[in-house]
Amino acid sequence: MQQVSEHVFIETKYLGCNVGVVLTEQGPVVIDTPALPDDTRDLRDQIRKLTSRRIAYLIYTHEHFDHVLGAAGLTKKVIAHYAAVSDIEYLRKNLASEIKHFYPGLYLEYKDIFDTLDVVPPQITFVNEITLYAGSRKLELSWVGGHSPASILIYVPDDRVLFCGDNVDVGMPFIAPYSRFGEWINALKRIEGMEIDRIVPGHGEVCGMDDVIRTRIFFETARDRVQSLISADVTKQEAVQKIDLTDVLPVPLSPIVRQQVQTMVGMMWKEID
Ligand SMILES: [Zn+2]
C-alpha cells in the first residue's frame, strides 16, 4: 500500500476503485473495497502488515457497485449515507443481472464470483454529517451528493487527507445516471475551502486542489453555457450538438469524450430546466 500521510494508506491497483486505510487505536478504518475476492484477500494481508487490530469500520464513499463489492470479505460494520441503503438493497438482489447488463465482458470473466457475491448493506447511516471518534483519531463524514445521491466526503483532519469518492477525478469526471451538477459544483467549492494536503479520488492516483478547481470550472462553464442556450430558446437537441467546451475540457477531445460531454449537457439541461 502507498502511505499518503502518517496514518493513511491507499491502494490504487485493485479492480473497482481506490481503497483507503486509516489507522486508529480502535483498529483500521477501511474506505471503499476492491471488487474481486483475490484483491480483498490481498487487502486483508496488506492491512495485517500495518496493524494486528481487526477492522473497526468500513465506510462507503458512495453506493456504486465498483466501490462496495468487497465488504463481505472485510467486515459487516459498514457506515454509509442514508441514500445508499435502497441502492445497496437493489444491488443485493440484482447484482449478477446488473453487471451482466452494464459490463457483459466483466460478468463473463468473473461469472462465478458475481453470481454468488453477497453485497453488504450499511449498519450505520447518517443524513448530513457524522464524526467517527476512533481513539484519538477523528474522521469527519459529510454528505455532498453530486456524483451520486449517496456521495460523501471523508476527512481525516489530523492528517489533512480527504477521500472524495467519485466527486473528484484526475481527467474527465465520472458522470453517472443520477449525478446532480448543482450539488457537484457545491461539493467542489466546499473541498476548495478545506485544509487539505492530499486528496484521494475514487479512482487513480492521489491528486491535488488543481484537479478540483479544474473540474469545478469545467462544470460551471458548462452550466453557464447551457443556461445561455436555454435563455436563447435553443432546443435541447441543438444545444447538445452545438455546445463547445473544448476550452475548459479537463482532457483532450476524443469521440468518447464528446459523447460524455453531450450526455452531461443533456443532464444539465434537464436539471436547469
Ligand atoms: Zn461512482
Mean pLDDT (the chain, rounded): 95
Cell triple for 163: 477521500
Calculate mean pLDDT across residues 47-52.
97
Burial of 62 (0-12, 13-18, 19+ CB in 10 A): buried
Cα torsion angle, 29, 32, 37, 41, sign? negative
Cα torsion angle, 201, 165, 193, 261, sign? positive
Helical (H) or strand (E) element with 163: strand 161-165
Q: Which residues have beta carbons under 5 A from ligand 1 (an ion)?
A: 64, 166
Cell triple for 198: 492530499
- Tell me: the pLDDT tens digits for 56-98? 999 999 999 999 999 999 999 999 999 999 999 999 999 999 9
Percent of all residues in the chain with a pLDDT value above 70, rounded to a whole number = 100
- Tell me: the pLDDT tens digits for 145-200? 999 999 999 999 999 999 999 999 888 999 999 999 999 999 999 999 999 999 99
Measured distance CA(273)–CA(53) in Å, rounded:
52
Spacing, Cα 234 to ligand 1 middle (Å) = 31
Specify the pTM.
Answer: 0.95
The Cα-based distances of 65 to 50, 61, 92, 119, 206 in angstroms read 27, 11, 10, 9, 21
Spacing, Cα 49 to ligand 1 middle (Å) = 29
Spacing, Cα 224 to ligand 1 middle (Å) = 25
Length reported for the chain: 273
Spacing, Cα 232 to ligand 1 middle (Å) = 34
Spacing, Cα 171 to ligand 1 middle (Å) = 15
